[in-house]
C-alpha cells in the first residue's frame, strides 16, 4: 500500500503558491464575507485563473492535470485562511470534477471539463430533507420520456448552490427498485423549472452558500444522464469517499489556521510582565495542539496518496474524516482559549475558526457514519 511521509518539491511549491493566493486575495475579504454571508466573485475569478477549480482535469481540457493530493493541498492551504473558500474549491474538485472524470462519457467531458476548469462553479445535489445519513431514501424523482427525462423534487443543504452553473443531481428513475433506481443527472442553471430556494443562515462557513435546490418538471435531454442508469448510488458512495478526504483537508487547514493565530498571539500578549508564551501552561497547550495537527496531516496526506495510487482508500478516508474533524474542533476551541476574552470577540480570528470547525463532524457523512463505515471494514 502506498503511503506518504513528505511532500515532493513540486507539491511544496504548489502549496506555497496557493498560500500566497490565500494571504493576498482571500484574507483581506474574510471578515466582510463572513458578516455578509457572501462569497466575493473576485475570489472565484482568481481561483479559476490560478487553475484551482480544475486541479485534476486533464490539461487537454484546460485543467491543471494534477493529482488528488494536490487538490487536498489546495483545500488545506486555503482553509488556513478561510474554510468557506476551502469548501468551494473542495466540492468543485473532489466531488463534481471527480464524477466527470470517472463516469462522464467523452461527449460530456468535452462539453463540461473546459467550463469546470475555467468559468463554471459546480454543485453536488444529493441530500434531501428526509435523506441525510440515509442518503438513498431520497424522493427526488426522474421520469423517462421519449426524448429525455423529467426531474421533480427538492434538495437541501446544497453547497455552492448560489454560485454554481453546473449541478450533478441524484434522482430515482425506478423507485420500485429502491436505491438501485438512483441515477445521476447533469442540470445546468437556467434550465426551465430549475431554481435555487432558501439560502440557509449558518453558524459557520457563512461565506459558503448552502441552499435549497428545487426541481419542478425540469426537462433534460438523454445525454444529461451521467454514468449508467441505476448506478447513481455507486457514483454517490464512491465520490463521497473521495470528498471525505477533501473535508479532512479543509479541517486540517482550519486547525492550522487557528493554531497559527494562537501561536502568534501568545508571542504578543503580555501578562504579569511577560509574554504569555513564556508560561509553561501555554507552551504545553500549544505543543499538544501541534502534535494533534501533525497526526491529522499524516492521515490526510496518506489517504490522498492511497487514492492516487489506485488502491482502495475507503477506510483511510473515513478515518481521516473522523479524526481530523475532531482535531479541528479541539484545536479551534483551545486556540480560542489562548486568546482569553479576546477569543470571544469578532475582531480576532479565533471565534470564526471555532464556529467554522463544527461543520466538519456533520457534512459529507457524520462522525457516527464514519465510525460505522470503519467498523464494517474492520470486520472484513
**Catalytic positions, written as ranges:** 364
Residue 176: pLDDT over 60: yes
Return the CATH number of the domain spanning residue range 9-121.
1.10.540.10
Cα–Cα distance for residue pair 167/100, rounded to 1 Å: 11
Cell triple for 128: 434531501
CATH H-level, domain 123-230: superfamily: Butyryl-CoA Dehydrogenase, subunit A, domain 2 (2.40.110.10)
Per residue in 209-221, pLDDT tens? 999 999 999 999 9
DSSP 239-272: HHHHHHHHHHHHHHHHHHHHHHHHHHHHTT-EET
- Angle of helix 83-90 relative to helix 350-357, nearest 10 degrees? 40
Return the CATH number of the domain spanning residue range 233-379.
1.20.140.10
DSSP 94: I
Cα–Cα distance for residue pair 371/185, rounded to 1 Å: 30
Residue 282: pLDDT over 80: yes
Tell me the pLDDT band of 4, cut-offs 50, 70 and 90: low
Residue 161: pLDDT over 80: yes
Residue 277: pLDDT over 70: yes
Instruction: For the chain, give the mean pLDDT.
Output: 97
Residue ranges covered by each domain of the chain: 9-121, 123-230, 233-379
Residue 181: pLDDT over 80: yes
Cα–Cα distance for residue pair 304/279, rounded to 1 Å: 38
Distance of CA 254 to the CA centre of its chain: 12
pLDDT recorded at residue 380: 77
On the CB side of 69, CA atoms within 13 Å amount to 26
- Angle of helix 232-266 relative to helix 350-357, nearest 10 degrees? 160
Amino acid at each position: 500500500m502506498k503511503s506518504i511521509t513528505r511532500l515532493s518539491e513540486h507539491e511544496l511549491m504548489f502549496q506555497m503558491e496557493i498560500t500566497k493566493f490565500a494571504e493576498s486575495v482571500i484574507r483581506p475579504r474574510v471578515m466582510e464575507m463572513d458578516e455578509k454571508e457572501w462569497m466575493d466573485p473576485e475570489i472565484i475569478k482568481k481561483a479559476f485563473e490560478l487553475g484551482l477549480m480544475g486541479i485534476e482535469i486533464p490539461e487537454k481540457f484546460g485543467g491543471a492535470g494534477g493529482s488528488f493530493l494536490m487538490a487536498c493541498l489546495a483545500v488545506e492551504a486555503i482553509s488556513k485562511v478561510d474554510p468557506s473558500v476551502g469548501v468551494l474549491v473542495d466540492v468543485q474538485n473532489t466531488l463534481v470534477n471527480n464524477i466527470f472524470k470517472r463516469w462522464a462519457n467523452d461527449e460530456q467531458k468535452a462539453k463540461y471539463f473546459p467550463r469546470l476548469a475555467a468559468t463554471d462553479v459546480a454543485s453536488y445535489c444529493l441530500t434531501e430533507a428526509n435523506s441525510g445519513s440515509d442518503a438513498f431514501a431520497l424522493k427526488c424523482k426522474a421520469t423517462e420520456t421519449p426524448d429525455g427525462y423529467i426531474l421533480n423534487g427538492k434538495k437541501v443543504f446544497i453547497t455552492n448552490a448560489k454560485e454554481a452553473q453546473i449541478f450533478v443531481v441524484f434522482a430515482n428513475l425506478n423507485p420500485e427498485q429502491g436505491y438501485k433506481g438512483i441515477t445521476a443527472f447533469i442540470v445546468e442553471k437556467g434550465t426551465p423549472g430549475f431554481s435555487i430556494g432558501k439560502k440557509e443562515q449558518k453558524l459557520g462557513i457563512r461565506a459558503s452558500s448552502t441552499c435549497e435546490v428545487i426541481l419542478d418538471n425540469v426537462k433534460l435531454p438523454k445525454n444529461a444522464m451521467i454514468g449508467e442508469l441505476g448506478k447513481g448510488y455507486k457514483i454517490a458512495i464512491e465520490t463521497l469517499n473521495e470528498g471525505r478526504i477533501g473535508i479532512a483537508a479543509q479541517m486540517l487547514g482550519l486547525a492550522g489556521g487557528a493554531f497559527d493565530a494562537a501561536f502568534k498571539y501568545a508571542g504578543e500578549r503580555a501578562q504579569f510582565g511577560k509574554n504569555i508564551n513564556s508560561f509553561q501552561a501555554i507552551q504545553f497547550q500549544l505543543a499538544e495542539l501541534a502534535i494533534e495537527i501533525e497526526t491529522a496531516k499524516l492521515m490526510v496526506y496518506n489517504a490522498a496518496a492511497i487514492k492516487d495510487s489506485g488502491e482502495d482508500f475507503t477506510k483511510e478516508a473515513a478515518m481521516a474524516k473522523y479524526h481530523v474533524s475532531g482535531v479541528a474542533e479541539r484545536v479551534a476551541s483551545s486556540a480560542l482559549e489562548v486568546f482569553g476574552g479576546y477569543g470571544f470577540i469578532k475582531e480576532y480570528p479565533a471565534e470564526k475558526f471555532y464556529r467554522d470547525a463544527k461543520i466538519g463532524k456533520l457534512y459529507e457523512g457524520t462522525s457516527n457514519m464514519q465510525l460505522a463505515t470503519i467498523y464494517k471494514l474492520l470486520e472484513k
